[in-house]
Structure 1
């Protein structure tokens, strides 16, 4: 069975395994990706935020604590929405059960749209990018991360080992569907080249301000061997764009 979009997280066992994996001490999401996102976001005081594919909304809780005045999380998994609702309890944040494709974007409503490692689950991005652009106020920002294209290009490495020491990059310029073994399930992702992401953003009118590939920072690691392993290949591709 192949899981698409957020559907994998509605499998209770997969969801439990994911949460445990995501919250482990040296999760790359926490020690590589998130610090870069927060740096690119900068001062969030007084801003309205939309989070596409918000997961458990812990990131939203952090943004609210840092001063954003409203937070809307969009999430397609019922299990994730329940978790996000608990985390956002007693805050100004809200979570909405919806796929990104079905979400009704409000025009010129947000100062920041953020998405963490969710957009590579979508078969088509142009319309979503256009909706995000329309939903931002003037000078609003769109900051998002995806799995790096050198990883999505081929599933051969993922199929060989869950703790890889070497990586295979293949079929790089053949964009499209990939079925990746992940946490004992088959999960559908969509590979795009670095160039394709960049050109789609330009096409809908974004100005690309910054691009990062998640260079590991040694001070974030307690294990020297894990730091050296993470220095070998990029896990993330992160864009900061302005309307």
Structure 2
């Protein structure tokens, strides 16, 4: 399934008002941990899968990358990314992650931020990334945490007064599509276990470097919208290297 809600005008306008959309990486609760895993970009070639507004592409270019390619299915996303981008080393391509070209050993680094859980075949992505990376190249990505996606609705259980009681985790081992409501639209995602995220990388020739369940950055800890993130993990970040 190649779902593209972001070219819906109303949906895109709502997404554009989110803090991470308006303020960039500094407003993303996981960025302080994701950033620690990034390699030295000096002279590197970089591919960003599901680049969105291009924040990670811009960061890589600002830190010395010689070539950065960002791909995204959304025309509106890429238009915004191009508007924000001034570096000539960055190029953007409109395509689904599933359709990324096979380019053996073309990249030193492959990044992806909160996009792979929209892709039906994680196995295929791991194979393609491994092929496209140079030996010792880095694959660093974030996804919605399996605890966050497992039950499906992605909402708290509440009491009669609306107080949040607990986060439901159910059907954890049922790796299949989930349907949830995001910004007023029905969105489809693929739930996978932590075992699948890690073992699939290992089976496809990667070495696992880091696995992180990030809490919000200290400077964001008092923001009302970040309080839920201290009660259950929302994201999972994995860094791996091609052997």
SS at match of 1:32: coil
Q: Are residues 104 and 94 of structure 1, via their aligned partners in 2, closer, same or farther at CA, if it must alter by over 3 Å?
A: same
Unmatched 5+ stretches in structure 2: none
Q: Displacement of 1:219 after TM fit?
A: 3.4
SS at match of 1:239: strand
In the TM superposition, what are the counterparts of 1:59-138 in structure 2 within 5 Å?
A: 59-138=56-135
Equivalent-residue separation in structure 2 for 1:183 and 1:79 (angstroms):
16
- Kept after mapping to 2: 8 A contact 1:177/1:188: yes
SS at match of 1:120: helix
SS at match of 1:155: coil
- Kept after mapping to 2: 8 A contact 1:5/1:188: no
Cα deviation, 1:215-236, whole Å, max 9, x if unaligned, reads: 334333343x655532111111
In the TM superposition, what are the counterparts of 1:1-40 in structure 2 within 5 Å?
A: 5-23=2-20, 30-40=27-37
Equivalent-residue separation in structure 1 for 2:25 and 2:225 (angstroms):
10
In structure 1, what is the equivalent of residue 151 of structure 2? Answer: 154
Equivalent-residue separation in structure 2 for 1:194 and 1:164 (angstroms):
29
Structure 2 residue 201 is matched with structure 1 residue 194: no
In the TM superposition, what are the counterparts of 1:169-184 in structure 2 within 5 Å?
A: 169-184=169-184
Aligned residues: 238
Aligned-CA RMSD value? 2.4
Q: Which 10-residue stretch deviates more, 102-111 or 172-181?
A: 102-111
Equivalent-residue separation in structure 2 for 1:22 and 1:5 (angstroms):
26
TM-score normalised per structure 2: 0.89
Q: Which 10-residue stretch deviates more, 60-69 or 138-147?
A: 60-69
In structure 2, what is the equivalent of residue 239 of structure 1? Answer: 238
